[in-house]
Amino acid sequence: MREARAVEPSAEQRAAKGRREELEREVEEGRLRAARSDRLAARIRRRRRVVPLVLLVVLGLVAFVAWPTERRSRVPASPSLHGAFDRGPERFEYEEKLLERPPPSREQSPAPLGQPAPLARTSDVFGFMFVQPGSTRPVAYDPCRPIHIVVNGRTAPPGADQALRDAVEAVHRATGLVFVFDGPTDEAPDLQRPAYQPDRYGGRWAPVLVAWSDETESPMLAGGVTGSGGSMALSGEAGRVYVTGSVILDGPQLGEMLRRRGGQAAGRAVIMHELGHLVGLNHVSDPSQLMNPEEVRGRVSFGDGDRAGLAQLGTGDCFPTV
């Protein structure tokens, strides 16, 4: 038996092999570039689905503000609750500084002021903007004191006041949280709104601001966005608690919606969605829920998942020293 000997490849074979390896490298680099492009596109799509204004204060320090939602509505399409998509989250960094804070509230009760309405059906189709550190419990408003609201009606259309009050009542029923309207204000919407404004509102946390605005005053409303909402949370040893927040509504666009047939229910639902963000609900993908950010015609009330999440947000801890 003869011993087999290795055959040296020719120059042409070596060149062909080099070309194949170079082609394989180019193909692999193209695949990696495409994968990076797909991941970037996915991040952009995710950013467009959520919108926020939430200021987290860690142990008394201001950390950041984020607007949780911006609603789009294609006016003058037929009445619908949601538009094409939502943008976000957009975060605005702040210098860390000691947070001025008011004295403890004189309105603090030893027990919650109300209780969520009983749930007809249980559901887990909901999400929270933030949860307590090391826990699944949501960050929420203190249920043992009322949530005060002031309204800047600069661009409020006819029917706006009733739509707002009906939306607030719907959130009250679902959470048990008590809301008090303090009246009008000339405070303009501001993404860097201070949580404590003693010169304007006295020795208390600033009330929730509902501002009827437009895209000239509030650029986040540009491009058909009809609303944005969120809250500011204070963090301390007992956990996090929302102390105030804002809802910004596009008066001209919602005015067109309210004037259409069925528009009062659709406009109220837009405000309910933003109030859902205000008290701590996040978006969900289920089209049967009001907190779904996509267009769902005819969805003008909270779904089972929305109500289940709101019920939890209405039974948070009391914070008598905040």
Q: Which tens digits make up the pLDDT trace of 208-232?
A: 999 999 999 999 888 888 899 999 9
Predicted local confidence at residue 229, as pLDDT:
93
The structure's pTM equals 0.73
Residue, of 63 and 288, whose pLDDT is higher: 288
Exposed e or buried b per residue across 275-298, where buried means at least 16 C-beta atoms within 10 angstroms of its C-beta: bbbbbbbbbbebeebbbbbebbee
What is the per-residue pLDDT for 85? Answer: 28
Instruction: Supply the pLDDT for residue 293.
Output: 84
Tell me: the pLDDT tens digits for 26-79? Answer: 656 655 555 555 555 444 444 433 333 333 333 333 333 333 444 433 333 322
Percent of the chain at pLDDT exceeding 70:
68
- Please say whether the beta carbons of 270 and 227 come within 8 A: yes
| H helices present in the chain, as ranges | 11-47, 160-175, 198-201, 251-259, 263-279, 304-313
Question: Is the pLDDT at 314 greater than 60, yes or no?
Answer: yes
For the four alpha carbons of 295, 47, 167 and 315, in that order, the dihedral sign comes to positive
What single DSSP character describes residue 128? B
| Statement: residue 308 has pLDDT above 90 | yes
